[in-house]
Structure 1
Amino acid sequence: MLVEDDIEISEMVKTHMMKEGFKVIQAYDGESALQSFSKGAIDLILLDLMLPKANGMDFLQVVRKQSTIPVLIMSAKDSEADKAIGLGLGADDYITKPFSMVELTARVKAAIRRATNYSKSVEKDVKTIIHIGQLTIDLENYLVTKENKEIKLTSKEFQILKMFMCSPNRVFTKAQIYQFVWHEDYYGDENVINVHMRRLREKIEEDPSHPKYIKTIWGIGYKLGEF
């Protein structure tokens, strides 16, 4: 799905992507993008941030509450802060306008390839068991082990770890973690998140002061470490 309010840019990208073999659904504002997204059958979203009716950031937050579909932001905003916010809200990649069609195509294909390969790896592990580093999480039996030794986690700790291990390439803000685990709106009470994150790290990390599994992305949130 291509969400872009500039008709000229939208048509240019659509034409090129169709030549590359993609089927393209176009949306020109945030509201129509939400309607198209709700119908499903989308493999990737190309998203402009400056949209009428509902902006790109708001649309992205709605998408991330429902799906881990790859989202690639296309924006004229090129500051590090804008990129950090976009990626922090759950975008998989960020490309600055103006961009070349060759680069855009390469990034789209790479994002779809990563998503497809991750899905296959989960299917290979009977869809309910995920291995990352020395950690294994069994989603069906609510079991976490490290080097074949069971780690006792609380329900909230399990849900936090599950969130990271199911989306290994994604950065989560504290608000997103709170909404995912507690299913409530976040009002800035960092202490709740901090306490649970510290306890979880104490159980899964060799050195909680220098974590390898759940890394802090300063000013944004947290993400799973790379193994």
Structure 2
Amino acid sequence: MNYIAKKIALQEKNILNHADLYLDYNNRIAFHKNRKINLTVKEFDILFFLASYPGQVFTHRQIYETVWGKEYFCDEGNVTAHIGHIRKKIELDPRNPVFIQTVRGIGYKFAKK
């Protein structure tokens, strides 16, 4: 699936609820436990992408190419840094994440409902 098709598929879902996390794609807002979470554009896009497919594991490449819309050039640090920032904003304990989980040697997944 190309970048445009992935973006259209994500936009069709519009609103996602998972536990105490609420994401509204059209208005680009996120709430955790009724507290607004201030996310950058890329952070929101990554979180919404992962939350759209709970339980599915995505590689750094898949996340990068979907969110940035560019070919991936082996820069895991960029995706990893953004995931770290998201965790600090939405997780009660970012070192033991509930929402975005690391799958060692592969990438990341959003917790299943």
Of 19, 31, 47 in structure 2, the residue corresponding to residue 161 of structure 1 is 47
Q: In the alignment, what sits opposite 1:5? A: none
User: Normalized per residue, which structure has more helix?
Assistant: 1
1:167–1:226 CA distance, 2 compared to 1 (3 A): closer
Distance 1:64 1:167 in 2: 17
Matched residue SS, 1:208: coil
Answering whether residue 105 of structure 2 is matched by residue 207 of structure 1, we say no
Q: Spell out the pairing of 1:7-18 with structure 2 (5 A cutoff).
A: none
Q: Report the AA paired with residue 175 of structure 1.
A: R
Deviations 1:112-165 (A, max 9, x none): xxxxxxxxxxxxxxx522100110001111110011110000000000001011
Residue 183, structure 1, aligned to residue 80, structure 2: no
- AA at the equivalent of 2:21: L
Greater share of strand: 2
2:62 counterpart SS class: helix
Partner Cα distance (2:81, 2:74) in 1? 14
Provide the C-alpha distance between the structure 2 equivalents of 1:168 and 1:148, rounded to a whole number of angstroms. 21
CA distance in 1 between partners of 2:47 and 2:101 (Å): 12
Larger Rg: 1
Any gaps of 5 or more consecutive residues in structure 1? 1-62, 68-126
Identity score, percent: 39
For the aligned residue pairs, the C-alpha RMSD in angstroms reads 1.5
Return 165-174 or 198-207, whichever deviates more.
165-174
Deviations 1:57-115 (A, max 9, x none): xxxxxx47546xxxxxxxxxxxxxxxxxxxxxxxxxxxxxxxxxxxxxxxxxxxxxxxx
Number of equivalent positions: 106
TM-score, normalised by the number of residues in structure 1: 0.44
Residue 136 in structure 1 maps to residue 54 in structure 2: no
1:168, distance to aligned residue in structure 2 (A):
1.4
C-alpha distance in 2, partners of 1:136/1:191? 27
Tell me, what secondary structure is at the counterpart of 1:145? strand
1:202 partner SS: helix
Amino acid at match of 1:158: F
Q: Structure 2: state its 5+ residue gaps.
A: 7-12
Q: State the match for 2:38 in structure 1.
A: 152
For the pair 1:216 / 2:102, whether they are aligned, the reply is: yes
The Cα shift of 1:226 comes to: 2.5
| Distance in structure 2 (CA, Å) of the matches to 1:226 and 1:167 | 8
Deviation at 1:187, TM superposition (A): 1.1
Matched position secondary structure for 1:226: coil
Other-structure match for 2:9 = none
